[in-house]
Structure 1
Amino acid sequence: MAASCIYDVFLSFSGVDTRKNFTAHLLAALERHDLYTFRDDTKLTRGEEIGPELLKAIEQSKVSIIIFSKSYASSRWCLDELVKIMNCKRRFGQIVIPIFYDIQPSDVRSQRGCYEEAFASHEKRFDMKMVKNWRSALKEAANLSGYDLQNMANGCESTFIETAVREVADKLNLTCLSVADYPVGIKPRVKKLSEFLKLGSNSDNVRIVAIWGIGGSGKTTIAKAMYNRIHRIHEFESSSFLANVGPTSMQPNGFVELQEKLLCDLRLDGNQRIRSQDYGIEVIKRRAWCRKVLLVLDDVDNIRQLRALAINRDLLRSGSIIIVTTRNLSSVSSLQVDEVYKPKELNREESLQLFSWHAFRRDQPVEDYEILSEEVVSYAKGLPLVLEILGSFLSDKTVPEWRSELKKLKKIPNNDVQGKLRLSFDSLDNEQRGLFLDIACFFLLEWTKTCQSKH
């Protein structure tokens, strides 16, 4: 792959045949899937020569989609693009996907019919070496695995396009959300969540699952990983990940901001501004839930947030999935949740590995730090956030410094987790600071249990 890729996809097509129909629909589908796509009439700067700019864009693309139509071979520019595309495939391993639109693949490969007529004309006007290169590139591209509209999806363009776009996304292996620098323990927890969501079953019911736990336990990380895994491949018509729902709703005009973000993610905004919260509710009811959606609501802490987003099981289309992360189950009581998933804390091995990545940039402690690392892991009680914070804080410190800091931690009462982590508290961002209260509650609960067991 070329080192300086800018675009996910380059579209090579004949404007005469497809610009205002098939190619326009394909471009819209690619953009719905957040695939940054070059198309000559949307990305070219006025006044620049079309040839060099197009050839440069091909080099800067990860995937080239070639739409073979009846007039494709009649265009010198299309054929020049094609030669460049095949050259990039050989040099950089660029992914090339041919689409046969209203033409038989065998006619393209053998250059029969309208393609034969086009080349007969080219041979009269252009150098034979150039024509030979065009013929060779055409044959090579037509022999690649691709899509034939006439033989797929019963010729239904919309279904055909969605299938093709989904394959492009799969080939690029794109993720939508940044999950974690070191995703230790994420896979088994995502697998457990997928069981609650009943992915892969034949059921087409609406499915709502809450991920419940204290702050810092990894709820959002698990939700992000699941979203990345399924938002492209389960035939959702739209998807949205609304982060920090609770904190955002507390801001001035926060509910309207959430409504606008939801409509934008679902590609329903139409540049429309929401005039008020009540107006936004009606817009969402009218336009959002008539399609199959994937929606993640992160950090919901009040039932009013669900009402402002018009989240109602009865309004959702079959096959839709909603994932909610929350620290307070009563805040999602109106959703008629199918399952509540409470992720387990990281086990000792996972905890040590996550801590080591943050403290040593490797999956295990370095020499002389093994016992000290075990002490930190024992203290953190499997909470990912605590392990990350302490690992980052202790990173690059000497053994005596570690011992000194651990002594300070041990002097603080068990229920004063904020005091324990005050060592690095000032270096945290606002979101991480907000989680400390929940972590403190967790340790207070543990301390209370210990006291009760003694009496």
Structure 2
Amino acid sequence: MDSEDDVQTVGIWGMGGAGKTTLARAVFDHISIWFEGNSFVENVRECSKGSLSGLKKLQKQVLKDVLNDQSIHVTSISDGINKMKKTMPGRKVLVVLDDVDDIDQLEALAGNANWFKPGSRIIITTRDKQVLIAQGVNADNIYNISLLSREEAICLFSRHAFRREVPIQGYEELSGKVVHYAAGLPLTVKVLGSFLYGITDQPKWVDTLERLKTIPLEKTLKKLEISYDGLENDHKEIFLDVACILKGEPKDKAIKILEGCGFHAQIGLEVLEQKSLINILDYGTLSMHDHLEEMGRNIVRRLHPDEPNRHSRLWVKKEIEEILINDLGTKATRSMNLMYPGIHPAIVMKSLRKMKELRLLCVFDGNKTWEIDEGVEYLPNSLRSLNWSGFALSCLPQTFQANNLVNLEMPWSYISQLWEGGERKVLEKLRFIDLFSSKLRTFDLGMTRNLETLNLKIHAPVGSLKKLTSLKLNGCSRFEYVGVSIHQNSLAMLELIVEPLGICPLHPNSNLPKFKHQCKYGEVLPLSGGNIEKLISFGLCACTNLESFSASICGLQHLTALTLEGCIPEVPKDLWKLESLEQLTLSMKEINHLPDNICMLKHLKYLDLKSCWLLEQLPMDLGGLQCLEELHLTDCISLRDIPNNICKLKFLKKLHLPYCIQVEKLPEELGPQVWSCSILKSITNFKKSKLPKLKFLKVSGSKVVEMSDGSQKTRCKYCDMLLAKESNTSLKKHITKPFCKALKNDPESQQTQISNDGRIFHYNVDAVRDRIAKFVI
């Protein structure tokens, strides 16, 4: 604000009644003496509403105030703009535009910074942040006004109720309750303080507070409702759903529910947030001020205050149960939220027959088990979002067509199949499914072609997933975790970690290998047809047909990054089919060779083989990887030689061979003396090498260390400590150190020792000597 070199515009943004005008007035009164002309324009929204004459009147006010000339006349909006452009640049001015709600108002009253002399300041108050953004107000100059703290609210209330800074004796507790109701909103604090001023009868205070629980303060609601009135119809509906049903829900969940109801939820919530009608908490939860919630619920109630069955939204448990028990449902009800019902689900569904236009149903039924007779099950076909946690039936009602259903959430439910007898119904509109921890056993995703999000716990194969963007299959016999994500401008990647599993719960007598998988998959847009189906098409039981397993992975034709880790017994045979592959990481302890056709991966830039303990040699035609830039061979303890044709890798920049303990030399064509350095960690000078791009070579751990005194020692690959090679005592002491994991839980253990941090180490000293090469460098 101190700069005299430019014109600055400042925005004060916040909900109605939060004190924006009061703050702007205080700033105006404090700094206006520093300017050559000033104008405070109140109620811009109200004064300009409905006609252009209102804006002309406001332009005239600004010109008269700034120029101190009462004779100025404005014939039209354009005339007012021209007069301001002509006269304002001559003086440094302070202009406050209060309660702006449309960019047209700003274009008429403060269109551009070049209208004003450098050093001028324009202050705008608004409930709609988008107005400030559209005007080009710098984000650092937009201030979201804070509500009052409890101490500030007590002080403000006392000024109006007691004409002093603190409550009078005996009224401290009641004043605290009033302030709690106001929830930091200055308007409510002032209105209630003024209303209670002069009332010395404490029971009347108590009565006022009790009344506010059911009948909100009209003056506050009227002020707040101005923001609601300015919304488009769809955004009004979203606001009412948040106020009555969705406040406190995670934003992501609320978006699914609202999109299920046919709204453009992402944009709608952003609009409500910009207009200060809702806010998103740091952890992603929908929230709104208590009085805005009251306002929304009052809007729903006021047309039929004594007939809740005619309300568009139902959220009061007592009212809902009375309507359901007495079968008073009507077409008026669009949304209903019933928490922990004390009535039988059959009663709920029976009364739903009259709610023909119900689009959103939320029921949280806990973990109760109900017996339900056939013939009473019913759900309206109008439902677009069905959220029934703990649903008591084993399948959806036969009469429920679900042809409008977009969002289906039934976690912790007893549902075992969607429809009795496995009936197939095409659900073209269904986009979101959450059946986590349900009893679902079969589910044909081929009937949900537009599915985007799936959260299941099942033990059965799944079908077509062409539009799937996220997938969770927690608790499946085969998959421990599957995450599928679709991204713009990112690599198509697959990470698969495989661990052995003792028995398949579905096929305990199967002779096929049994594994547990952790899987992450990401795909680029546009979608590669069928990739995800291929990924999980080999079934979700633990039994693994290795040929099908290989075919499923190698069928991901557009994959650019692949990681395979764990107890996979062989490398997929057809990796050469992954023509787009650029990154390949294999950490497979049981493989002893790589398929020769891996050298046909013409686009591969990064190859990482780590802890492939049984791998003895690399493909002889490794030089065929024309684009390879990095080759990492880490802890391949059985690998003996590096093929000479590695020197054909003209683009190779990095070659890492740490802890390849059997490798004694590298191809001579790499350059002189590269292989003779006994304690070599890295080499960076390869001017004479036939690999012109090579910048870094790491071969630590590949040889025995020769000490200066002629003795031979070994170096522990886990902590780099030097040990006497022939000394049992040295090894015995070393492997019990807390930081060394070299022989922890050795399968041939004969001795046990507890380390300083309480961990137990098992080891066999003779076995250590026999297998020393596996544990030291």
Instruction: Give the strand-richer structure, 1 or 2.
Output: 2
Larger relative contact order (Cα-Cα within 8 Å, sequence gap ≥ 6) = 1
Name the TM-score, length of structure 1 as normaliser: 0.48
- Mark the structure with the bigger radius of gyration: 2
Name the TM-score, length of structure 2 as normaliser: 0.29
Instruction: Give the helix-richer structure, 1 or 2.
Output: 1
